[in-house]
Amino acid sequence: MLKVFHHPFSAASRFVRLVAAEYGIQTEYVVERPWDRRREFLLMNPAGTLPVMSENGGPPICGAAPIMEYIDETRGYAMADRRLMPNHAEVRAEVRRLVEWFLIKFEGEVTGYLVNEKIYKLEMPREAGGGAPDSAVLRAARANVRHHLKYVGYLAGTRDWLAGPKLTFADLAAAATLSCADYLGEVAWDDDEQARHWYSRIKSRPSFRPILADRILAIPPAPHYADLDF
Amino acid sequence: MLKVFHHPFSAASRFVRLVAAEYGIQTEYVVERPWDRRREFLLMNPAGTLPVMSENGGPPICGAAPIMEYIDETRGYAMADRRLMPNHAEVRAEVRRLVEWFLIKFEGEVTGYLVNEKIYKLEMPREAGGGAPDSAVLRAARANVRHHLKYVGYLAGTRDWLAGPKLTFADLAAAATLSCADYLGEVAWDDDEQARHWYSRIKSRPSFRPILADRILAIPPAPHYADLDF
């Protein structure tokens, strides 16, 4: 049994939820608000970031990439053809490059800004940085998201799935990150037909259902957010 | 035969040089200046970041963590007792957490700023961002480095090596990052005896010698930089 500390709008947490669902792992989820800087949470992960996981009360496993590797090392082989990590070392490297691209680079240039300004700041007390969104930050994120969407479209158009002919962790990382921006209506799907087609395929997977059901009361999702035929 | 595109003061590149030396892999090194945005380099790694590696003319493997995993997957088993990745999934997760801590968090809060302001800006043309160091940025980096040094001291004091009883990739990642700051005289070793003791052990390894010989003409290293008994 896995226990995962997450936030519904943390892209890296969504990635782990998708991975656990694809691998069919029974998981208990606990919502953590990192800005509370809860002592027990910081003892598990001194970086104070999400997600954090533990298995059967074992030591904490911190961060999306270490969790991905752990789950694949302990369950990947048994998944046979549904394994999300390819067999060849070179293709594995490409999957890892793209997971880092979406969960660190895209997150740092787009989703992290959008979610912080439009969601987290609503939930945070003022002394932790809460308040109104900064429009300059939103503008920067909106400029960056276009380049990333084009890159997703390029990969999807040349490779079927993002890292090659099969679904891998790279697709889940990209979809996790894009889904946060999409909830906020910040992805111009009309700009890239290949990216839209790829996203509609991954969005239709059963593993995606809980993510499409996520809601923040104060901010309803973009109208097409949970629509499989957007 | 590996070919690695690197910069002598990129911490993530130093990490890969240390790994290749510890595993005894014959490697050709090519200096890349990422701010040149060389077309052939961007075709290998669209993120435009270092390091990038390829084996025998094969596809590019981008980023320190994917390179570490690739080298360990292809050579780790043969290293037996000198393998830098532990056997247990949970301990591997801890190694990966720390590699990410030093190459992404520490780099983003300390070394990236120091190297950019004090070294890269000297080498860059003005239109690529070159010029005098920004003293506000240096002040932020100097405030952050103290916390990180304390954390290194805490880990070294409770675990012998940073991730446990044996040398792992985590130690090489930490030492690679710290060595860049140390060249610039920005590590107050007197503040933490445990951290100093750990660093003097890792600095004495033969794999470290080429890094201690790195020089930038315009900026000589701190007097103790290559001193094994600092």
Interface test with A, best of B43, B54, B62 (most A CBs within 10 A): B62
Mean pLDDT of B91-106: 97
Kind of pairing, strands A52-55 and A61-62?
A: antiparallel
Give the pLDDT of chain A (230 residues) as one tens digit per residue.
999 999 999 999 999 999 999 999 999 999 999 999 999 999 999 999 999 999 999 999 999 999 999 999 999 999 999 999 999 999 999 999 999 999 999 999 999 999 999 999 988 999 888 999 999 999 999 999 999 999 999 999 999 899 999 999 999 999 999 999 999 999 999 999 999 999 999 999 999 999 999 998 788 999 999 999 88
Q: Which of B79, B74, B82, B28 is nearest to B53 (CA)?
A: B28
- Chain B residue numbers with beta carbons less than 8 Å from the beta carbon of A69 are 69, 92-93, 96
Q: How close, in Å, is residue A61 to chain B by CA atoms?
A: 6
Q: What angle is formed at CA B140 by the lines to CA B114 and CA B146, rounded to 5 degrees?
A: 85
Give percent of chain B above pLDDT 70.
100
d(C-alpha A69, C-alpha B209), whole Å: 32
Contact residues on chain A for B69, CB-CB shorter than 8 A: 69, 92-93, 96
Chain B residue with minimum CA distance to A68? B93
Name the nearest CA neighbour of B50 among B101, B96, B116: B116
**Closest-CA residue of chain B to A87:** B73
- Is B65 within 8 Å of A69 when comparing Cβ atoms? no
Q: How far apart are CA B196 and CA B149, in angstroms?
A: 9
- Kindly state the helix (H) or strand (E) to which residue A4 belongs, with its residue range: strand A2-6
B16 near B67, Cβ under 8 Å? yes
Q: What is the ipTM of this complex?
A: 0.95
Length of chain B: 230
Q: Provide mean pLDDT across the span B123-143.
A: 92
- Distance from C-alpha of B51 to C-alpha of B145, rounded to nearest angstrom: 23
Give me the pLDDT at residue A217, please: 79
| Cα–Cα dist A39/B222, whole Å | 38
pLDDT over 90 (residue B217)? no
State which amino acid sits at residue A27.
Answer: T
Residue B93 with chain A: CB contacts under 8 Å: 59, 61-62, 66-67, 69-70
Minimum CA–CA partner of B55 in chain A: A90
Q: How far is B53 from chain A (nearest CA, A)?
A: 11
Q: Tokens representing A223?
A: 């109208």
Mean pLDDT computed over B11-28: 98
φ/ψ of residue B5, rounded to 5: -90, 125
Run of H or E including A62: strand A61-62
pLDDT by residue (tens digit) across B166-216?
999 999 999 999 999 999 999 999 999 999 999 999 999 999 999 999 998
Contact B90 A46 (CB under 8 A): no
Burial of A160 (0-12, 13-18, 19+ CB in 10 A): middle
Q: Which domains does chain A have, with CATH numbers?
A: 2-82 (3.40.30.10), 89-212 (1.20.1050.10)
Residues of B whose CB is below 8 A from A90: 58-59, 61, 70
CB distance A105–B151 less than 8 Å?
Answer: no
